[in-house]
Chain A
Amino acid sequence: MRPQHADDAMATAPVVPAVRLRSVWVRYGPTVAVRDVDLTIARGTTTAIIGPNGSGKSTLLNTLSGLIRPTHGVVEVLGAPAARGSRRVAHVLQTTVANESVPLTVRETVRMGAYGRRGVLGRLTAGDRRAIDEAIDRMRIGDLVDRQLQELSGGQRQRVYVAQGLAQRAELLLLDEPITGLDLVTQETITATIADERAAGRSVVLTTHDVGTAHLADQAVLMATEVVAAGPPRVSLVPEHLATAYGGHVHLLDDGTVVLDEPHHHDHRYDDQLRG
């Protein structure tokens, strides 16, 4: 896939995709978490990686920021091998990853995003401060900046973490389960921001287990350890493919709505696999 709206400046440069994976495998001991994935993501697009729990979608996302190194295969991000600490990639982790006993204000938390650009000692520039303020505005957390992280609701916290990612001013934004199970304001704010990022020519890759969310993306990658289907959601998320990925727990309603019967969002087979 190629960018559909390459502007004049970009037209002279060779077209480098946002992400290119070639035969990527990730194993944890004897367990295969990601099996032989080939995938290309064009710049300026949004991609949803969807699948049941333990299908390898977060693992796949983690390879893009270098957090996990593939056991085999090549991961190229914006034309270079994926590496931790790349300024060009912002990775918003799941909220559960953070230690919220650290006393932090919302503004301090968002500021951390700019450390990616400045490193351990570099001074924040006026541009960094502007990016921090903009990120706070875009996530509608301006009235919360002096609040403690622990005092916020789950949705507010998620918006703080996305703002932290935006403050990094990266070209590729990775979001791990950004809107699942959160309040409407949060869902709308984050969804709108994803669209804005795309409009600004940046790329967004997110994971979700919600088919509705995946339908908002340009491309959906349906995972069940390996890629079951990839392409525009109306092509990749058809019931046959969903049935393959979710192991038959798929019901098609009369109006065409797809319902996933995934009790507690758990598939013990995959959980066991991940635990090894």
Chain B
Amino acid sequence: MPDLIAEPFAFAFMRNALAAGLLTVFASSLVGTWVVLRGMAFMGDALAHGVLPGIALAYLVGGNLLVGGALSAVVMIVGITLVSARSRLGEDTSIGLLFVGMLALGVAIISRGGAYAGDLTTILFGDPIGVTTSDLRVSAIAAAVALGVTLALYRSFLVLSFSRAKAQVLGLHPRVAHVAMLALVAMVILASFQTVGTLLVFAVLIAPPATASLLARRVPVMMAVSVLVGSLWVFVGLLVSYHLGTATAATIAGLSVFGFFLVLAGKELVTRLRRPSFPAVAEGG
């Protein structure tokens, strides 16, 4: 049994993959907590895929992929805000329009560029076992920024999540806080798409915080539980993928979601066991 764990991590690429995964989980737990609490999951998903055209274009012209992705994210956010403000459509429709439009554009650019399908797969699913030291540096910076902004804007984020109107009357700048949240989501996605891929970023943005929300009674606790739960699945996922030869990112993403349902089922079971069953009481009396 110890060999099952020790053997894979004897390889540097596995240790790098673990480090990248843990840093991603740390940043995505802090940011994902607000995404889950504010019901912004669709926005997160859209951003995760909407960065594609910028990345593809940057790839084709040999530019910086992060800058390309960031420009795409800005186009998405501005587009969604404009469509919501200028039409009677709800935000989900605006997000959907930009999401599908940008994804289509990204795929079109990649196919026109004659690049092989592997590029798209790398963006969607990452290459966790090909993580370089410079990738790790980017992930570490993203984790530090996520922590710094979460601490600095905690009150604004908390009250905005509780009630936008309350944040307005208390002068806590909800609009700035909302934009800061979107920027953090975009940052987490961009910092990790090369390592773990957008699918896994989105999974760890949602699944560990959602799992933690089943267990935690305060927001900081929810963040901490999310980091722990997410880290566990990164570790287990890497081992499973190593031994069974499954795709790394998909394995971790799948396990994170599985973990949510496991906790949900466990919680349901505990509630049922604790609750006295009424028919039995009635029959006894």
Contact = CB atoms under 8 A, between A and B. Distances in A.
Nearest to B36: A101
A85 B37 contact: no
Given A99-B163, A102-B161, A102-B162, A120 B152 contact: yes
Interface stretch (A6-14, A111-119, A223-231): A111-119
Interface stretch (A17-25, A90-98, A130-138, A265-273): A90-98
Interface string A58-96: 000000011100000000000000001111011101000
B63 to A, nearest CB: 36
A99 B156 CA distance: 15
B166 A105 contact: no
Interface residues of A, number: 30
A7 B63 CA distance: 71
A119 B217 contact: no
Interface stretch (B91-99, B167-175, B273-281): B167-175
B163 A98 contact: yes
B218 interface: yes
Contacts of A86: 171
Given A102-B37, A104-B218, A120-B152, A112 B170 contact: yes
What does DSSP make chain A's interface, helix, strand, loop or mixed?
A: loop
Contact of B172 (A66, A108, A119): A119
B139 interface: no
A103 B216 contact: yes
What does DSSP make chain B's interface, helix, strand, loop or mixed?
A: helix
Contacts of A101: 37, 213
A113 B163 CA distance: 13
A85 B168 contact: yes
Contacts of B161: 99, 102
A110 to B, nearest CB: 12
A85 B172 contact: yes
B114 to A, nearest CB: 47
Contacts of A121: 152, 155
B99 to A, nearest CB: 24
B218 A103 contact: yes
A269 B173 CA distance: 35
B158 interface: yes
A148 interface: yes
Given A97-B163, A99-B38, A101-B37, A115 B217 contact: no
Contacts of B219: 102-104
B165 interface: yes
8 contacts: A86-B171, A91-B169, A93-B163, A101-B37, A105-B218, A108-B218, A116-B169, A116-B172
Interface of A: 65-67, 84-87, 89-91, 93, 97-99, 101-105, 108-109, 112-113, 115-116, 119-121, 148, 168
